[in-house]
Amino acid sequence: MVMTIQDPASQRLTWYKPPLTVLVIKKVRDAMVIPPFIQLVKWFINQKRMVVFVESAIMDDPVLTRHPEFGHIKEKLMTFDEKKDDLTDKIDFCCCLGGDGTLLYASSLFQQSVPPIMAFHLGSLGFLTPFKFEDFEAQVTHVLEGHAALTLRSRLRCILMKKEEEETSAKPNTNQLVLNEVVIDRGPSPYLSNIDLYLDGKLITSVQGDGLIVSTPTGSTAYAVAAGASMIHPSVPAVMVTPICPHSLSFRPIVVPAGVELKICVSPDSRNTAWV
């Protein structure tokens, strides 16, 4: 038997039309990111003739507004409000300047499809930010021309439902796509949490401990690996379930197929509630 597995690096980025809009997200409260941010934005506006979107909050950033070159580009920037505006159909391309947290924030802005994101490593953690800013012109041009490999990353849909909402079949208030993980823990309580874990409607186990981490392959390098789980390649279609300090020797991190429905709820006999 011969089994052929597609090389993840063989997936290529293809533009159906030239990208016209770009979202630039920078790390917050970091003066070191200001010069690269202005340099990148000016290059997009003057050299690539693209429409640049930025967060509305940065327009009042005192460190940025004091920069002598910001006044020349301020009027050319488009802004958005993350709580009101839907960016799904407005953004063709996204650039992040910072660390992994900046990329996670950028992902959270898109609760439907996500445009290609190019992340430059200008922060503390760099699992998700492989690009160096020193030669950004060549690297970004390479991507805009469609000569780049593409890594597709899965996200989790988290639906948070309270007991009364489930009993009345009410629409849940929280329905969100997350890139890293969903954590259910005991919060500030000193008591252990008792959590029931269901897989496609079947009870798998009851967890007694500090909580559970449900992570994507991307999130397997974050809280999950710190809690003792293995790292999963981002191209593997899977979900990692990791207990946090379990009060048991029988439950260890498990990997389940992507696409399954995981239901996590507080056990009826639990002395404590749970926080998400």
What is residue 119's predicted lDDT score, i.e. its pLDDT? 93
Q: Which of 61, 100, 185, 210 is catalytic?
A: 100
Per-residue pLDDT at 125 exceeds 60: yes
**CB count in 10 Å sphere of residue 265:** 15
Task: Name the CA dihedral angle for 92, 93, 94, 95, rounded to a multiple of 10 degrees.
Answer: -150
pLDDT tens per residue across span 237-264: 999 999 999 988 778 899 999 989 999 9
Q: Does residue 30 have an active-site annotation?
A: no
What is residue 5's predicted lDDT score, i.e. its pLDDT? 56
CB 129, CB 119: distance < 8 Å? yes
pTM over 0.85: yes
Higher per-residue pLDDT: 71 or 212: 212
Residue 231: pLDDT band (50, 70, 90) is very high
What is residue 60's predicted lDDT score, i.e. its pLDDT? 83
What is residue 10's predicted lDDT score, i.e. its pLDDT? 60
What is residue 4's predicted lDDT score, i.e. its pLDDT? 54
Please tell me the least confidently modeled range out of 7-16, 43-52, 71-80, 190-199. Answer: 7-16
